[in-house]
Amino acid sequence: MADIRSLQDAVADLVHDGDTVAMEGFTHLIPYAAAHEVIRQGITDLTLVRMTPDVIYDQLIGAGLVRKLVFSWGGNPGVGSLHRFRDAVENGWPRPLELDEHSHAGMANRYVAGASKLPFAVLRGYRGSDIPTRTDTVSTVVCPFTGEELAAVAALNPDVTVIHAQQADRAGNVQMWGLTGVQKEAALAADRVLVTVEEIVEELTPRPGGIVLPTWVIDAVSVVPGGAHPSYATGYSTRDNDFYQAWDPIARDREAFLTWIEENVRDNVRNSEGALTR
Amino acid sequence: MTATPAGTTDFTSDELMEVNAARALASARTCFVGIGLPSTAANLARATVNPGLVLIYESGTIGSKPTRLPLSIGDGELAETADAVVPVPEMFNYWLQGGRIDVGFLGAAQVDRYANINTTVVDRGPDKPEGRLPGAGGAPEIASNCGKVLMVLRHSTRNFVRRLDFVTTLGHGGGPGDRKKLGMPGAGPTAVITDLGVLRPDPATAELVLTEVHPGVTVERVRAATGWELTVAGTVGTTEPPTPDELAALRTLKAAGKDAR
């Protein structure tokens, strides 16, 4: 059952040093506020998992909290490169970053296997690509019925999945809608689940294409209005495209990055407490 | 082959590329749209040569009808204007791997003479770390499973390389038959549209051949911008310059995107 609790307490209880953590969201509903709480608490040696690591993973990597990244496309969507990610991979700053790299189809299927509690998933993928030479989580399997050789990808089972959604009810049932990405699979694949939401409502009204995660598959729900900013929450906010543009020059420069993190994340007690008191 | 004298045209080489990329979608029913230039081309196609084109984005949108160029692959307008929004595993398994998409439209950081693609890492020379690119994204399976693949990228020796540092996504491998041997369902890349012209695979060798240049571009210029000994078709055509309507539609889309920011 999901406890409705402060973001600070939920992150402290559910995310530990050395964990494998998935913070999913395909451009939409990215759990920025929760990731900033991880930075404030200095939770480190993380293996981060996500199909599309973007600015928030750039921030976690640049803050030196990440040991390994499992992913399929790392960029600033609509803008360009992730400079903190590149600096870690190319120069080992602030620490070396190990990579486990896949295609989108492979990552999506790794989550499906994880949610299904199967050891691996099959797909007609990776053919002719060099990707399998750099990872030990892609192999092949022969179909017992047709003899076709298919790609096999190892299941992903994060210690913790953190997602953002629009609404929860008082019992901790959660609903999200719009682009729902791979969040359901990432949540069901994980041992522990934290969901930040825009608001608590008396009753969840079913939405077309909406996904409901029942309270008994979630550990904690934290109410964090605007917790997806600079990404967005359909029905509540729009994407802050200017922020994604503004991030590029900040992330290019190590000093500018460190200053930004100090001023906007580590010292941002007002924002942190603002989220807690809602 | 005729060349328009430089300086007399009132459109840019990027606009030539984008308009020609859009025209390549004239007869497609469904298009899996990559980020960046492919998205520009696909949205221009909907505004000009193919209003009924079904645009599919890997974020989960099917039949998106945005009124401006999307600012990212997960732009809210793509979802709001779509016929359907599906979860990402469904998009890749049912729609893409299920063989339901005619054309995959991709960009690339590096491409070789067989239209193989690298978007993963680049070699920067001895004693230097590999240069990091974004990674594979959806491209390997888009190139494998779509009926055919179109590519659009700017033409330079940095992008059109003799040898890929890494094969992220297979085009035609090392020649004819390679795709078939790997059991890839789609026909693979059929055209690479650049800011200088159009390259297409030779049916006999699968190697990319220069078949058309844009107005004002010489064959020599394309050769100089290609990192391998470029084969040129017996007769190289010249693409039609953009019509006023095409240019107006492209500029309207781009201006609307800027306003949205």
Write the pLDDT tens digit of every residue in A136-150. Answer: 999 999 999 999 999
| Residue B7 falls inside a structural domain | no
> Is the per-residue pLDDT at A272 higher than 60?
no
Q: State the CATH number of the domain containing residue B166.
A: 3.40.1080.10
Average pLDDT over residues B185-201: 98
CA nearest A178: which of A238, A120, A230? A238
**Is B135's CB within 8 Å of A74's CB?**
yes
**Is A127's CB within 8 Å of B145's CB?**
no
First to last CA, chain A: 21
State how far the Cα of A177 lies from the Cα of A164, in Å rounded to an integer.
11
CA nearest A181: which of B92, B70, B135? B92
The tally of domains found in chain B comes to 1
Chain B residues with CB-CB distance to A73 below 8 A: 134-138
Q: Over the stretch A208-217, which tens digit does the pLDDT of each residue have? A: 889 999 999 9
**Is B72's CB within 8 Å of A148's CB?**
no
Q: Centre a 10 Å sphere on the Cβ of residue B115 and count the other Cβ atoms it contains.
A: 27
Average pLDDT over residues A115-125: 98
Whether B150 contacts B24, CB under 8 Å: yes
Q: Which of residues 197-236 of B touch A (CB under 8 A)?
A: none
Chain A residues with CB-CB distance to B38 below 8 A: none
The helix or strand, by DSSP H or E, that contains position B62, with its residue range, turns out to be strand B61-62
- Top pLDDT among A208 and B207 is at B207
Whether A227 contacts A32, CB under 8 Å: yes
**Is A130's CB within 8 Å of B35's CB?**
no
> Is the per-residue pLDDT at A274 higher than 90?
no
| Residue B5 falls inside a structural domain | no
Chain A residues with CB-CB distance to B259 below 8 A: none
Strands (E), A92-159: 98-101, 120-123, 138-142, 149-154
Phi, psi of B81 (to 5 degrees): -105, 10
Q: What amino acid positions of B are annotated as catalytic residues?
A: 58
* pLDDT tier, B7 (very low <50, low <70, confident <90, very high otherwise): very low
* pLDDT tier, A273 (very low <50, low <70, confident <90, very high otherwise): very low
Which residues constitute the domain of residue B86? 13-257
| Residue B3 falls inside a structural domain | no
| Residue B39 falls inside a structural domain | yes
Name the 3-class secondary structure at B81.
coil
* pLDDT tier, B2 (very low <50, low <70, confident <90, very high otherwise): very low
Instruction: Specify the range with the lowest mean pLDDT, choosing from A85-89, A153-157, B43-47, B254-258.
Output: B254-258
State how far the Cα of B74 lies from the Cα of A231, in Å rounded to an integer.
10
**Which of B72, B145, B167 lies nearest to residue A130, judging by beta carbons?**
B167
The helix or strand, by DSSP H or E, that contains position A37, with its residue range, turns out to be helix A32-41
Whether A163 contacts A29, CB under 8 Å: yes
**If you count them, how many residues does chain B have?**
261
Q: Give residue B202's pLDDT.
A: 98
**Is B129's CB within 8 Å of A182's CB?**
no
* pLDDT tier, B9 (very low <50, low <70, confident <90, very high otherwise): low
Average pLDDT over residues B140-152: 98
**Which of A27, A125, A245 lies nearest to residue B59, judging by beta carbons?**
A27
**Which of A71, A126, A232 lies nearest to residue B135, judging by beta carbons?**
A71
**Is A71's CB within 8 Å of B74's CB?**
no
* pLDDT tier, B11 (very low <50, low <70, confident <90, very high otherwise): very high
| Residue B8 falls inside a structural domain | no
State how far the Cα of B63 lies from the Cα of B123, in Å rounded to an integer.
39
Both structure tokens of A16 = 């530990």
For chains A and B, what is the number of CB pairs under 8 angstroms?
176
**Is A73's CB within 8 Å of B168's CB?**
no
**Which of B60, B138, B261 lies nearest to residue A103, judging by beta carbons?**
B138
Residue of B nearest to A127 (CA): B182
The three-state DSSP-derived secondary structure of B200-254 is EECCCCCCEEEEEECCCCCHHHHHHCCCCCCEEEEEEEECCCCCHHHHHHHHHHH
| Residue B2 falls inside a structural domain | no
Average pLDDT over residues B27-35: 95
**Is A28's CB within 8 Å of B74's CB?**
yes
State how far the Cα of A144 lies from the Cα of B208, in Å rounded to an integer.
38
State how far the Cα of A111 lies from the Cα of A134, in Å rounded to an integer.
20
Share of chain A above pLDDT 70, in %: 96
Chain B residues with CB-CB distance to A102 below 8 A: 136
Strand partners, B110: B118
Q: Give residue A269's pLDDT.
A: 60
**Is A239's CB within 8 Å of B137's CB?**
no
Chain A residues with CB-CB distance to B116 below 8 A: 128
Average pLDDT over residues A180-192: 98
Whether A191 contacts A157, CB under 8 Å: yes
Predicted TM-score (pTM) of the model is 0.95
Both structure tokens of A43 = 């939770």
Residue of B nearest to A51 (CA): B137
> In Å, how far is B33's CA from the nearest CA of chain A?
14
**Which of B91, B136, B182 lies nearest to residue A131, judging by beta carbons?**
B136
Q: Give residue B256's pLDDT.
A: 87
Q: Over the stretch A30-52, which tens digit does the pLDDT of each residue have? A: 999 999 999 999 999 999 999 99
**Is the torsion defined by CA of A26, A27, A29, A35 positive or negative?**
positive
| Residue B97 falls inside a structural domain | yes
State how far the Cα of B72 lies from the Cα of B74, in Å rounded to an integer.
5
Q: Give residue A208's pLDDT.
A: 86
Amino acid identity at B16? L
| Residue B192 falls inside a structural domain | yes
> Is the per-residue pLDDT at A198 higher than 50?
yes
> In Å, how far is A25's CA from the nearest CA of chain B?
10
Give the mean pLDDT of chain B. Answer: 94
**Which of B58, B61, B170 lies nearest to residue A104, judging by beta carbons?**
B58
Q: Which of residues 4-43 of B touch A (CB under 8 A)?
A: 35
> In Å, how far is A234's CA from the nearest CA of chain B?
7
B125: contact with A, CB 8 A cutoff: no
* pLDDT tier, A267 (very low <50, low <70, confident <90, very high otherwise): confident
Give the mean pLDDT of chain A. Answer: 95
**Is A181's CB within 8 Å of B87's CB?**
yes
